[in-house]
Amino acid sequence: MISGRRVLLAVTGGVAAYKSALLTRLLVEDGAEVRVILTESAHHFVGPQTFAALTGSAPYTKLFDSDSVSPHTELARWAEVIVVAPATAASLSKMANGLSNDLFSATVLAYTGPVLIAPAMHTEMWEHPATARNMAILEEFGYETVGPESGALAGGDEGVGRVAEPEQIHEALSDLLGTRPDLGRLLVTAGGTREPIDPVRYLGNRSTGKMGHAIANEAAQRGYDVTLVTTSNLHADPAVNLVEVETAEQMLNAVEQVDMDVAIMAAAVADFRPAKKSAHKLSRSEGLDSVELVPNPDILESVVARDKRPLVVGFAAETGDVERAVQKAKRKDVDLLVYNDVTEPGSGFGTDTNRVTFVNRDGSVDPMPLTSKDEVAAQLLDRIAALRSLDS
Ligand code: C5P
C-alpha cells in the first residue's frame, strides 16, 4: 500500500539513475508523496528538472546552502521509507560505514526507519569482498535489498550488477511498507461553511480549515480510513477521501453518507443561513433592508444521535472562559471537546499554531501549551486511541 506514504528516493550516481525517473513516476501514480535526493554524481546521469517535473517539487541536493538549517534531519523525519536506487558501490560503502559528508549519506545516518536499496554496479565491483562486506553490514542494519539482476551493464559489459527494474523496486517497496494497521473509519469536518445570499455573496466565518485538514492528514498517515468533508481547498493527503462542500446543509448531506467509528467535528458551521437565496446578483438599486435568517441543522447532533454512535469529538472556538466549553461538552454530549480561545495570539483562525484545552467527558480539563496544529492533531489522535482502547 503505497498511496499516501512518504517515500524518500535517493538517486546516486550510476547510469541506472535514468530508471529512477520511471520509478518516481510509478510511485507518484500510485499516490505516494515522493521527495528525491540527487547526489552530486547522479547529476552526471540525470537532471533535477526531470524529478521536479515528476514529483512537483525540486529534488534535494545540498547539505549546505539550502533554505533549511538541517535538511538531512528534516528529510529523515519526514520520510516513512528511504529507497536508494540506484545504489552505487560508493553509496553502499558510505551507508555501511556511517559516512555523512553529503546530503544523501547524512540523511540516511539521521534516519531510523526502513531502507530499501537497489544496488547497481559492474560485476567486479559487486563481487569485491569490500562490497560483500558492506552488504553484510547493511543487512545487519535491517536494510532490505532488491536486485541486482544479471544482464547488460554500462559500456557493453554483461553480468551481475544490473539494477532491478522499476516495477520490481515498486513491488519490493509495497512489500516492505506492508499494509497499514486498520484503525477504522474516521470522519473529519473542516472549514467554515458559506451560506449564500445570492450567487456572489455569502455569510461566512474566519475558519480556514487548517486544523481539520491537519487532523485528517495525520489520521490517514496513522492508518485510519479517513473521509474529510470540508469547505477548504487546503492540501489533503492523497489517501484521504475528500468531499468538498460549501454550506451546512451540504455538509450534513455529505456526513449522512459516511459510516464512521470516530467523528471529529472541526468545522465552523454557521448557526444560521439566509432564508432564501436570490437566483441573481442583488443590485444596489434593488436594495436589501435585511436578510432573514433560519437556523442550520446541527451536524454534530445528528452524528451523536445515530443508532451506531461513533466516538465524537467536538470543537469549541470561544472567546470566553473554559467553563463555557465544559458546559458545551455536556450539552453536546461529546466524548471529547477541543476548546480554544480564538482571541489569544497564535491561537485560532488561519494560524499555524493553536493553544487548546481538551475537555473530557467527566468535565475535567487538560490545558496544552501553544504548539503547531500538526502537533495538536497528533495529540488529539493519541487521546482518541486511548479512549478507544478503554472502550474495547
Ligand atoms: O458552533 P459551536 O461552538 O456550537 O460548535 C460546537 C461543535 O459543533 C463543533 O464541533 C462544530 O463543528 C459542531 N457543529 C456542527 N453543526 C452545527 C454547529 C456546530 O456540527 N450546525
Ligand 1 atom having least distance to the Cα of 248: 21
Residue from 134, 205, 296, 340 carrying the catalytic annotation? 205
Is 313:224 a contact under the CB 8 Å cutoff?
no
Which amino acid would we find at residue 307? D
- What is the per-residue pLDDT for 18? 96
Distance, C-alpha 47 to centroid of its chain: 27
- What is the per-residue pLDDT for 392? 62
Residue 85: pLDDT band by 50, 70, 90 thresholds? very high
Domain residue extents for the chain:
6-177, 185-391
205 part of the active site? yes
- What is the per-residue pLDDT for 118? 98
- What is the per-residue pLDDT for 104? 98
Please state the rounded mean pLDDT for residues 364-391.
93
- What is the per-residue pLDDT for 274? 97
User: Which ranges in 110-180 belong to alpha helices (H)?
Assistant: 123-127, 129-141, 166-177
Please state the rounded mean pLDDT for residues 80-105.
97
Is pLDDT above 70 for 81? yes
Q: Which residue has the cell 530508471?
A: 19
**Which residues have CB under 6 Å of ligand 1?**
189, 248, 265, 267, 269, 296, 298-300, 314-316
pTM value is: 0.68
> Comparing 65-69, 99-103, 225-229, 336-340, which segment has the lowest mean pLDDT?
65-69
* Ligand 1 center–CA 317 separation, angstroms: 9
> Comparing 113-122, 177-186, 311-320, which segment has the lowest mean pLDDT?
177-186
Q: Is the N-terminal amide bond of 166 cis, ω within 30° of 0?
A: no
Among 281, 265, 133, smallest CA distance to 211 is for: 265
> Going by CATH, does the domain composed of 6-177 fall within 3.40.50.1950?
yes
- Provide φ and ψ at 268, rounded to 5°: -95, 95
C-alpha dist (Å) from residue 81 to 6, 85, 244, 330:
7, 13, 31, 43
Please state the rounded mean pLDDT for residues 296-310.
97
Q: What is the CATH number of domain 185-391?
A: 3.40.50.10300
Residue 222: pLDDT band by 50, 70, 90 thresholds? confident
Is 292:242 a contact under the CB 8 Å cutoff?
no
Ligand 1 atom having least distance to the Cα of 271: 21
HSE-CB at 341 with a 13 A cutoff on CA atoms is 14
Please state the rounded mean pLDDT for residues 218-244.
91
* Ligand 1 center–CA 266 separation, angstroms: 8
Average pLDDT in the chain: 93
- What is the per-residue pLDDT for 47? 95
Is pLDDT above 90 for 373? yes
The answer to whether domain 6-177 and domain 185-391 are alike in fold is: yes
Q: Which residue among 188, 215, 311, 315 is best mutated to probe the pocket of ligand 1, counting the most ligand atoms within 8 A of its Cβ?
A: 315
* Sign of the alpha-carbon torsion through 309, 313, 316, 317: negative
Is 191:231 a contact under the CB 8 Å cutoff?
yes
CA gap 25, 346 in Å, rounded: 39
Please state the rounded mean pLDDT for residues 281-302.
93
Residue 180: pLDDT band by 50, 70, 90 thresholds? low
- What is the per-residue pLDDT for 304? 98
Ligand 1 atom having least distance to the Cα of 316: 3
